[in-house]
Structure 1
């Protein structure tokens, strides 16, 4: 049974979330809190599997209480946020930065045509969060790990032309760590698929731009990719690229139940750039991108998978490693460091 605490300053909204989550036999809502202070008090005497967290609350808001929880008694936290409020979205991603594992738009009411979809997303998100691996954020540094290096097996000369990256649960913070590890003169275009709840892509890009040395954009149809720029797939479109470096956005069916999908992007880049592709698969549940990362490696490209210790959920990168699809297995900042080294060298 997944034990959940709901934190929200609105009693109506707390009861609504309780109603949705309690409809699933695997979830038990064991408490409610009207603000961050009450949540911290509840944690002193209860063991929890997941917390759903509002952002704007009196006395102590969602960002601050998330920070305190992750510094002292880490619990997987799902942020429930209003996408229409830019201030709230900004704090939502700051909460992700200090340890929240995922985010979701506040669900529509029972009478809404989106009710069933929103309810299913909330239940699925809580179940994903329940298996996430979280750790104290103090001291504030990237977890140390010794990179496991799997030497490239190809003997042919390779020059990397494009970097493609996929991530899901826990991905925003991992992507931020990766991008901040790159220099501002990094010469290659980077295309990113991040599984994210509807309405949050623009806020995600704005948040990345606050710390990234490279310019980050929401990708647009027909745009020509340029070195030193980062392109994030928009919501509800599959993102690909052709051999002229033109971004193609399509309403093709979901792959692995997601759209955009890393699998779609990786295969598109492989067709366009062949062994000039560098593929990166970061934390996330499921198998999206794993087979295609192996295809990139088999074609002579360079591939990276996030290591287990630094992943919130090791599903996607773990599957790629199991398939033998990763040349390098390491934390996001180390991936950035090795990638910078590789783009300046010739492989024999």
Structure 2
């Protein structure tokens, strides 16, 4: 049984979340409180397996509560947020402070997406209940942001120029992307293309957050955009992103792959077939197997491949599937991925 504490200043939202989560027999609601201070007080005497945390609340908001909880009495936290304005900004601050994931505020019973949103919320709660969190993650994140990548010796590197990096990531992605990208220099020369599975409406906030906390330039591209050095591109909501022969981005509404659009598989496959041996493919934390077989294609075509290691993955699904297929030449934590990318870019 997964014990959940719900934190929200709206009585209606408290009851609605209670109703949705209680519909699953594996979940038990053990408390409902109306702001961050009440959540912290609750944890003094009772320890839930997961906390769902609202962002905007009186007395203490979700970001401040997350920061304090993760420093003093850590519990897996899922942010429940609207996808617009300051809520998105605060959501990513809470991710920096140690929250593991976020979901969009639930829609009403009569909304056509109600069942889909409910399933996503319950699935996220179940996944996060299995994550072991530790004290002082906030301070650790601050140290990671300010530290330089460690110097490593990577065996088996073939001297060559790489022209593109493709990354696939899902659950737990924003924090690990921030950890890697913040360590790359401002003049990093290899363009980076990312598929991040994310709730619709949260992507612009992610690129804005990364642009303020890393030295790189970010873009959500239009169809037929030319890929430029020095940019990081994110696949837009509900579009596959592919690579064309003339170094352009192709956006597609083709059928979902692995139940997803955008799909990591689509990006990796098109890039592997165009860029071939000059491609770096990276698969990071996330649920499922999206991109795993195509990472093997990148390797088979002569590209260099990396998977995030188990210890640092919030959800080890996607990297594990790639590793099972012998798709990853390197299995590394985020800081070593950054170091390897810097070393590879130095050959350009």
- Name 1:118's counterpart in structure 2: 117
Unaligned runs of 5+ in 1: none
- Name 1:25's counterpart in structure 2: 25
- Name 1:128's counterpart in structure 2: 127
User: CA distance change for structure 1 residues 250 and 181 in 2, over 3 Å: closer, same or farther?
Assistant: same
- Name 1:12's counterpart in structure 2: 12
Question: Mapping of 1:263-342 within 5 angstroms?
Answer: 263-342=265-344
Q: Distance in 2 between matches of 1:261 and 1:208?
A: 21
Q: TM-score under structure 1 normalisation?
A: 0.93
Q: Distance in 2 between matches of 1:158 and 1:98?
A: 39
- Contact 1:217/1:232, CA 8 A, preserved across alignment: yes
User: CA distance change for structure 1 residues 48 and 149 in 2, over 3 Å: closer, same or farther?
Assistant: farther
| 2:163 paired with 1:161 | yes
| 2:95 paired with 1:93 | no
- Contact 1:146/1:330, CA 8 A, preserved across alignment: no
Give the CA RMSD over aligned residues: 2.2
- Name 1:106's counterpart in structure 2: 105
Q: Distance in 1 between matches of 2:130 and 2:253?
A: 31
Q: TM-score under structure 2 normalisation?
A: 0.93
SS at match of 1:28: strand
- Name 1:237's counterpart in structure 2: 239
Q: Distance in 1 between matches of 2:328 and 2:260?
A: 22
Q: Distance in 1 between matches of 2:27 and 2:162?
A: 46
Alignment deviations for residues 206-263 of structure 1 (CA, whole Å, 9 cap, x no partner) = 1111012110111221111101100011111111111211111111222222221111
Residue 158 of structure 1 deviates from its aligned partner by 3.5
- Contact 1:150/1:326, CA 8 A, preserved across alignment: no
Q: Distance in 1 between matches of 2:127 and 2:68?
A: 22
User: CA distance change for structure 1 residues 146 and 314 in 2, over 3 Å: closer, same or farther?
Assistant: farther
Larger deviation: 138-147 or 33-42? 138-147
- Contact 2:152/2:339, CA 8 A, preserved across alignment: no
- Contact 1:182/1:336, CA 8 A, preserved across alignment: yes
Unaligned runs of 5+ in 2: none
Residue 311 of structure 1 deviates from its aligned partner by 1.6
User: CA distance change for structure 1 residues 286 and 132 in 2, over 3 Å: closer, same or farther?
Assistant: farther
Q: Distance in 2 between matches of 1:3 and 1:257?
A: 29
- Structure 1 runs (4+) deviating above 6 angstroms are 143-150
User: CA distance change for structure 1 residues 232 and 133 in 2, over 3 Å: closer, same or farther?
Assistant: farther
SS at match of 2:126: helix
Aligned residues: 343
Pairing partner for 2:174 from 172, 175, 178: 172
Alignment deviations for residues 121-149 of structure 1 (CA, whole Å, 9 cap, x no partner) = 21122122222342221542349999998
Q: Distance in 1 between matches of 2:338 and 2:177?
A: 10
Pairing partner for 1:207 from 202, 206, 209: 209
- Name 2:56's counterpart in structure 1: 56
- Contact 1:192/1:233, CA 8 A, preserved across alignment: yes
